[in-house]
Amino acid sequence: MVEDPGHLGSTRSFETTQGALTYPELSERLAVALARILDRILRTSAQDIVITPDWLCERHRDLAGDLFPDWAGRFRTTDVKVGTLEPPPYYQVPMLVRSFCDDLAERLRHLPEDDLTHIASLLAWVDWRFQWIHPFKDFNGRIGRLTLAALLYKLALPPVETAPTDPDGRRTYLDALRAGDAGDLLPLQQQWIDRLAAAI
Which CATH number do you get for residue 135?
Answer: 1.10.3290.10
Say if pTM beats, i.e. exceeds, 0.85.
yes
Phi/psi at 27 (nearest 5 deg)? Answer: -60, -40
pLDDT digits (tens, 9 = 90+) for 24-82: 999 999 999 999 999 999 999 999 999 999 999 999 999 999 999 999 999 999 999 98
CB 180 within 8 A of CB 124: yes
The pLDDT tens digits for 82-91 are 888 899 999 9
Round the average pLDDT of the chain to a whole number and report it.
Answer: 93
Rounded Cα distance, 186 and 28, in Å = 33
pLDDT tens figures, 107-148: 999 999 889 999 999 999 999 999 999 999 999 999 999 999
CA-closest candidate to residue 79, choices 137, 124, 25: 137
SS3 sequence, 54-88? HHHHHHHHHHHCCCCCCCCCCCCCCCCCECCECCC
Q: What is the pLDDT of residue 27?
A: 95
pLDDT greater than 70 at residue 7:
no
Beta bridge partners of 85: 82
CA 47 to chain centroid = 20
> CA 200 to CA 96: how far, in whole Å?
33
Contact by Cβ (8 Å): 149, 195: no
| pLDDT more than 70, % of the chain | 94
Range of the domain at 59: 5-199
Indicate the number of domains in the chain: 1
Per residue in 168-177, pLDDT (tens digit) is: 999 999 999 9
* C-alpha–C-alpha distance, residues 77 and 94, integer Å: 10
